[in-house]
């Protein structure tokens, strides 16, 4: 895991090839079909024959993919990889996705009601929060009033079971080695700008236009993160030109990367790779030691 533009995807492929493993994506947007250039999905050549799981598994028009749904699919993918005696590598920067698997989050069962979700999705965040508060004010106080997805899921649970459950103890299912990858601030800023320029050259704006032509609303684009939020603004005339768009988006991505680091550094189990040296070799050595920890030679 690590910040935007840190090189997580390519490092994951290198490690998976070295150890005959497979990759489970931990990216909340690469789940969706059609979000290719803007999310930095690897091409078939870049995947180098390494199987990748949990990419292109949902339609962006559905727009709602819960953490519990991700966890269920990730567990299935990991179990399938392990039963074939290959190591699974989770790769991605969506920290909550990683923690849901590493820490074994438990979720209150409530089957999704897609018709009800569509009704709730049409509501403004303040209205949603008021709806939740009407059911249970103390529960509503636990949620950020701007976080539509979490509030909608809380409403679903309450409507299904009549109340919102108290905190549920986690149940980790696997042992993990957690590796983090980032760069010094000035280097990271440069990497972000270079990556954004490349994605623009590859047709990122046209990709966004195709999504909106297919009926993906500005509201959905807004929920898909920084790139698509700013792309929608560009397409709808909110920027004077692409230069202004580039400057604003690159700054926003950098600020987001700093927030990512603030979140990641609270996770004491992450081993941060030293990018001032040969971090690929360091990662390879750490993975080898982790995989060999139960072998007779390591005792």
What is the Cα–Cα distance from 120 to 148, expressed in whole angstroms? Answer: 9
Alpha-helical regions (H) of the chain? 8-18, 44-47, 67-83, 95-102, 114-121, 125-135, 137-140, 148-161, 185-201, 204-213, 218-223, 226-235, 242-264, 279-291
Strands (E), 31-176: 32-33, 52-53, 58-59, 88-91
In the chain, what are the domain boundaries?
8-106+173-298, 114-161
Q: Which of 183, 204, 203 is nearest to 254 (CA)?
A: 183
Question: Per-residue DSSP letters for 165-217?
Answer: ---------S----EEB---HHHHHHHHHHHHHHHHHTTHHHHHHHHHHTT--
Question: Which CATH fold would you assign to the domain 8-106+173-298?
Answer: Rossmann fold (3.40.50)
Q: Is the dihedral of CA 96, 100, 105, 108 positive or negative?
A: positive
Q: Which of 50, 30, 51 is nearest to 94 (CA)?
A: 30
Residue 89 pLDDT = 98
Largest CA distance in the chain: 65
Q: What is the pTM of this model?
A: 0.81
Mean pLDDT by 10 residues, the chain (299 residues): 94 98 96 94 96 94 75 96 97 91 80 80 90 89 81 85 72 94 96 97 96 90 90 96 96 93 88 97 98 63
Q: Cβ neighbours of residue 156 under 8 Å, at least 6 residues apart? A: 110, 112, 113, 116, 117, 120
Please give the annotated binding residues for ATP, written as ranges: 2-9
Q: What local confidence, expressed as pLDDT, does residue 298 receive?
A: 42
Instruction: Assess contact for 180 and 269: CB atoms under 8 A.
Output: no
Rounded to whole angstroms, how far apart are CA atoms 8 and 100? 19
Structure tokens at 261: 């680091």
8 A C-beta contact, residue 156 and residue 117: yes
What are the angstrom distances between the C-alpha of 51 and each of 23, 79, 98, 116, 242?
A: 6, 14, 19, 35, 36
How far apart, in whole angstroms, are the C-alpha atoms of residue 73 and residue 57?
10
| Pairwise CA distance, residues 58 & 36, whole Å | 13
- Which positions make up the binding site? 2-9
């Amino acid at each position: 895991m690590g910040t935007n533009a840190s090189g997580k995807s390519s490092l994951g492929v290198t490690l998976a090839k070295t150890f005959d493993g497979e990759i489970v994506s931990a990216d909340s947007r690469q789940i969706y079909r059609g979000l290719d250039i803007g999310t930095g999905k690897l091409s078939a050549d870049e995947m180098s024959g390494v199987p990748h799981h949990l990419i292109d598994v949902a339609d962006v028009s559905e727009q709602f993919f819960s953490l519990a749904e991700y966890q269920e699919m990730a567990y299935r993918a990991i179990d399938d990889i392990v039963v074939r005696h290959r190591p699974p590598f989770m790769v991605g920067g969506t920290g909550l996705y990683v923690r849901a698997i590493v820490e074994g989050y438990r979720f209150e069962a409530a089957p999704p009601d897609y018709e009800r979700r569509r009704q709730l999705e049409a509501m403004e965040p303040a209205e949603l929060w008021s709806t939740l508060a009407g059911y249970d004010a103390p529960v509503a106080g636990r949620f950020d009033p701007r976080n539509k997805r979490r509030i909608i899921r809380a409403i679903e649970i309450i409507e299904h079971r009549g109340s919102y459950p108290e905190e549920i103890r986690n149940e980790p299912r696997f042992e993990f080695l957690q590796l983090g990858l980032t760069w010094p601030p000035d280097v990271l800023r440069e990497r972000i700008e270079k990556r954004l320029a490349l994605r623009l050259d590859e047709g990122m704006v046209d990709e966004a236009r195709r999504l909106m032509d297919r009926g993906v609303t500005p509201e959905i684009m807004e929920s898909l993160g920084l790139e698509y939020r700013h792309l929608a603004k560009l397409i709808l005339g909110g920027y004077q030109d692409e230069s202004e768009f580039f400057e604003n988006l690159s700054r926003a991505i950098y600020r987001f990367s700093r927030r990512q680091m603030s979140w990641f550094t609270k996770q004491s189990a992450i081993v941060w790779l030293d990018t001032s040296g040969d971090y690929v070799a360091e990662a390879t050595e750490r993975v080898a030691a982790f995989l060999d920890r139960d072998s007779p030679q390591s005792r």
